[in-house]
A = this chain, B = another copy of it.
């Protein structure tokens, strides 16, 4: 194996970039014991060059000129950690154009412009690695691409946004309103000043687009993924979940529907979900992430760890650096197809309509506390062939409206929607019904 160090350039010295500097410095020895050659961070570019990040940058050229970094002949791998889909896209394409390998954690960019970026990399014969873009430090993309390569993947279901999982766990634990918890999360640095990207499930949808590509070889845009965030969940829902034996998680779900004739369609959605409290996914607490992958041979698997944060994300970025450095020195880049499937094998697959999604639901009705209301609601559900597994109606409230909490038997989404549209027009019903789908196991 060649002994020469591999030169790294880092664009973006924010939280994760600083983590990368720390990991490369602190763990240089153990990385070299495994890789055989040193990784050398030779250059950093960031618009903010004066702030002290508390890391030693001796011997590293540090300025604000990202294009000069890319052009620097010592730089063989460019790390992009500035985020966003504008400048980041330009810089990555520029790095590829110059024959540099790229490591990025930018899921939004890859979800929206992955096709363009992977095509450019393929033409130029360089690699684009992005383990850090989904699940933070969890090596989930490698697991799907290599560890489970022998499988037809049946489903991928992930808790892939730590902010929302933290909010859900706190609401569950303390019985607090979402606004209270979000405010605290912002103070603790777990949530952005504008938390929409997380709370509305957009970040999870970006990650699901990448997971679905790797699992099924299917190119999905985030827009094609029905996405529902966690707003509108109330302490009542968490109490009901506990009584019914569930926990509420924001899940990103992609599942193959295969018919006997070999036809394949993909179900994809991001939504709050009730999971049996003893399932592994339900046990994921706080800001942690986990992705459950089921393969036809391996059966159910789960990969768990910190989904964000300085050091966990840096762990993933540096794992990509090690892999690329190895291939560069062996003169053998492009070892594995970035999206698991060879570019020519990536394909379009029809999506399963949400109407066809089939399973149990939790329903929270808000109705006037009058005799016969439950009977009338049950009647409409019955009209749509939706059976009732369990009902909770807690003591009377001071207000005229009470929540009626229900677990249905398995039914299609189409049936549930049709029933709810009728129920929500009933005079007894004073607010739109909240539905949360149950994921079994």
Which residues of A are at the interface with B, using a C-beta cutoff of 8 A? 19, 22-23, 26-27, 30-31, 33-36, 131, 137-139, 142-143, 145-152, 217, 278, 280, 283-285, 290, 295-306, 309, 311-312, 314-319, 321-323, 326, 330, 332, 335-337, 340-342, 345
A299 touches B305 (CB 8 A): yes
Residues from chain B with Cβ under 8 Å of A342 in the complex: 33-34, 36
What is the minimal beta-carbon distance from A284 to any residue of chain B, in angstroms?
8
Nearest B residue to A305 via CB reads B301
Known contacts A137-B298, A142-B146; 7 further A-B pairs (Cβ under 8 A): A27-B152, A34-B342, A280-B280, A280-B283, A283-B283, A301-B305, A326-B336
* 26 chain-A/chain-B pairs, Cβ below 8 angstroms: A26-B296, A27-B151, A31-B150, A33-B341, A34-B341, A137-B297, A138-B147, A142-B146, A142-B147, A143-B147, A146-B146, A149-B323, A151-B315, A278-B285, A280-B283, A290-B302, A295-B315, A297-B312, A297-B314, A297-B318, A299-B305, A301-B304, A301-B305, A302-B302, A330-B335, A332-B332
B304 touches A304 (CB 8 A): yes
Residues from chain B with Cβ under 8 Å of A146 in the complex: 139, 142, 146, 319, 322-323
| CA distance in complex: A34, B345 (Å) | 8
Nearest B residue to A326 via CB reads B335
A138 touches B318 (CB 8 A): no
User: Mostly helix, strand, loop or mixed at chain A's interface?
Assistant: mixed
Nearest B residue to A335 via CB reads B326
Residues from chain B with Cβ under 8 Å of A149 in the complex: 31, 34-35, 318-319, 322-323
B280 touches A217 (CB 8 A): no
A34-B345, A217-B33, A345-B33 known; A137-B301 Cβ under 8 A: yes
A19 touches B330 (CB 8 A): no
| CA distance in complex: A356, B342 (Å) | 52
Q: From B290, B299, B306, B323, give the contact of A306 (CB < 8 A).
A: B299
What is the minimal beta-carbon distance from A279 to any residue of chain B, in angstroms?
8
B306 touches A298 (CB 8 A): yes
Nearest B residue to A140 via CB reads B147
Nearest B residue to A334 via CB reads B1
| CA distance in complex: A146, B140 (Å) | 11
Residues from chain B with Cβ under 8 Å of A335 in the complex: 326, 330, 335
Residues from chain B with Cβ under 8 Å of A326 in the complex: 335-336
B138 touches A301 (CB 8 A): yes
Nearest B residue to A36 via CB reads B342
Residues from chain B with Cβ under 8 Å of A137 in the complex: 295, 297-299, 301
